[in-house]
């Protein structure tokens, strides 16, 4: 059922937002740093590996695929809404936190790709 796609999206979003808030507080910023990006990486990982861990029906798989595909435009819309100039004016720490979050995300791409190839 489509509900599994919504549940997976919700779980990944909550984990990502929590991790982004934790990352922001770690850097001393009262903001979410990279939470949506972390959620997107989790969603891509779990939607691609879900069939290896448990069997789901065809309708459930279509629901997970649908929400995985619609999540990217949502993230782009949310990112377009953010005020980049305000983040740069926020100081060097905000800029470094953003660079750190993006760098960690780039590091995980080959790790996840190699994990899939080794199966």
pLDDT on residue 62:
74
pLDDT on residue 116:
65
pLDDT on residue 15:
93
Q: What Rg value do the Cα atoms of the chain yield, rounded?
A: 16
pLDDT on residue 93:
79
Is-above-0.75 flag for pTM? no
For 39, 45, 51, 52, 64, the CA distances from 113, given in Å and listed in that order, are: 17, 10, 16, 15, 20
pLDDT on residue 76:
66
* Torsional class of 54: left (φ above 0), alpha (ψ -120 to 50), beta (otherwise): beta
Phi, psi of 33 (to 5 degrees): -115, 100
pLDDT on residue 3:
67
As given in the structure block, the two tokens for residue 3 are: 């509900």
Divide the 119 residues of the chain into consecutive groups of 10 and give the mean pLDDT of each group. Answer: 70 88 88 82 74 62 72 67 63 81 88 73
């Amino acid at each position: 059922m489509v509900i599994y796609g919504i549940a997976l999206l919700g779980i990944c979003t909550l984990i990502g937002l929590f991790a982004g808030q934790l990352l922001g507080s770690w850097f001393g910023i009262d903001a979410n740093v990279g939470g949506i990006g972390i959620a997107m990486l989790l969603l891509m990982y779990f939607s691609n590996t879900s069939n290896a861990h448990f069997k789901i029906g065809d309708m459930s798989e279509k629901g997970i695929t649908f929400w995985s595909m619609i999540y990217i435009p949502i993230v782009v819309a949310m990112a377009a809404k953010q005020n980049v100039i305000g983040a740069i004016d926020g100081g060097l720490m905000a800029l470094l936190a953003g660079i750190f979050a993006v760098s960690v995300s780039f590091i995980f791409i080959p790790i996840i790709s190699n994990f899939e190839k080794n199966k």
